[in-house]
Amino acid sequence: MADAAVHNAHPPGFAHQFEDMEQQHEAGNLGMWVFLVTEIMFFGGLFACYAVYRALHLQAFETGSRLLDVRFGAANTAVLIASSLTMALAIHSAQTGKRKSVVMFYLILTMILGAAFLGIKFTFEWRHDFVEHLVPGFGFEVRPEWGAIAQQVPMFFCFYFFMTGLHALHMIIGIGILTVLTIMASRGRFNEQYYAPLEVTGLYWHFVDIVWIFLFPLLYLIGGHYAMRGGH
């Protein structure tokens, strides 16, 4: 029934190269999944480097990990998981034909949580790292107690900043897309038939969350705060 309606009048957002709305919807979803595969390979290269160097310089990586403040990471994990929930609720409310103000509410909430993540990261955590002279290339200071591994501790921080920086860049892009979606929602572009941009953005947003779910333990937890090997 919905199909017939689609054929009669071209709904908003229908692109000429497709046969019908369903084909367009499937193509959009598949496209995003394929894109996420490329993202996995992109982050995967970094994770592979991290794994190799962690194996080579275990003690240095543990020392570096202990210098991070786990409270920042934990708080951000909670913020990010909450933002995934609000993103899913935004899609759900469009899918079930809720008023546009409801969709907008959840989208804006998602953006606020995303911005909170970035705020904690940049203004508190990275600032803290900078004050502690932990930023390689920008006044990094080798501490005397590191001894023989002093050359390798900066490498941990290289990875820490590359990985969380690349992740933060994805968050910023995500917030940009959410801004566009909020404007689209305010113009009443989404309904039960057409919510594909929300769904596709949702896939991206959840992916970025999942990357963090791997980053958090890799950087903050394992071998750092809980497994107290080595040290002095």
Partner 1 sequence: MSTVVTDIQPGAPPESSRVHYLNANYGIKSWLLTTDHKRIALLYLGSITLMFFVGGAFAVLMRLHLIEPRGALVEPDTYNKLFTLHGIIMVFFFLVPSIPATLGNFLVPMMIGARDLAFPRLNLLSWYIYIVGAIFTLYATISGGVDTGWTFYTPYSSGFSHTQVVPVALGVFITGFSSILTGLNFVVTIHKMRAPGLTWFRLPLFIWAIYATSIIFILGTPVIAITLFLLGLERLLHIGIFDPAIGGDPILFQHLFWFYSHPAVYIMILPGMGVMSELVTCFSRKKIFGYSFVGFSSMAIAVISFLVWGHHMFVSGQSIYAGLIFSVLSFLVAIPSAIKVFNWTATLYKGSVSYQAPMLYAMGFIGLFTMGGLTGLFLASLATDVHLNGTYFIVAHFHYIMVGGAVMAYLGGIHFWWPKITGRMYPDGWARFAALVIFVGFNLTFFPQFMLGYLGMPRRYAVYPAEFQVLNVMSSAGASILGVGYLIPLIYLVWSMRYGPVAGPNPWRAKGLEWETPSPPPTENFDEIPVVTEEAYDYANPNPGAARG
Measured CA to CA, the distance from residue 133 to residue 129 in angstroms comes to: 6
Rounded CA gap, 222 and 229, in Å? 11
Tokens of 162: 């590359």
Q: Buried b vs exposed e over 111-144: b needs ≥16 C-beta within 10 Å? A: bebbebbeebbeeebbeebeeeebbeeeebeeee
Q: CB of 140 within 8 A of CB of 133?
A: yes
Of residues 34, 85, 183, 213, which one binds partner 1 by CB under 8 A?
A: 34
Per CB under 8 A, contacts with partner 1 among 144-163 are: 151-152, 154-155, 158, 162
Cβ of residue 166: shortest distance to partner 1, in angstroms?
A: 8
57 binds partner 1 (CB under 8 A): yes
By CB under 8 A, tell whether 64 contacts partner 1. no
Which is closer to partner 1, CB of 37 or CB of 81? 37
CA distances in angstroms from 108 to 78, 102, 123, 183, listed in the order given = 18, 10, 21, 10
Q: Candidates 45-53, 73-81, 105-113, 168-176 — which segment interacts with partner 1 by CB under 8 A? A: 45-53
Decide whether 155 or 198 has the Cβ nearer to partner 1.
155
Q: Is 88 in the site for partner 1 (CB under 8 A)?
A: no
Contact positions vs partner 1 (CB under 8 A): 10, 15-19, 23, 26-27, 30-31, 34-35, 37-39, 41-46, 48-49, 52-53, 56-57, 60, 136-137, 151-152, 154-155, 158, 162
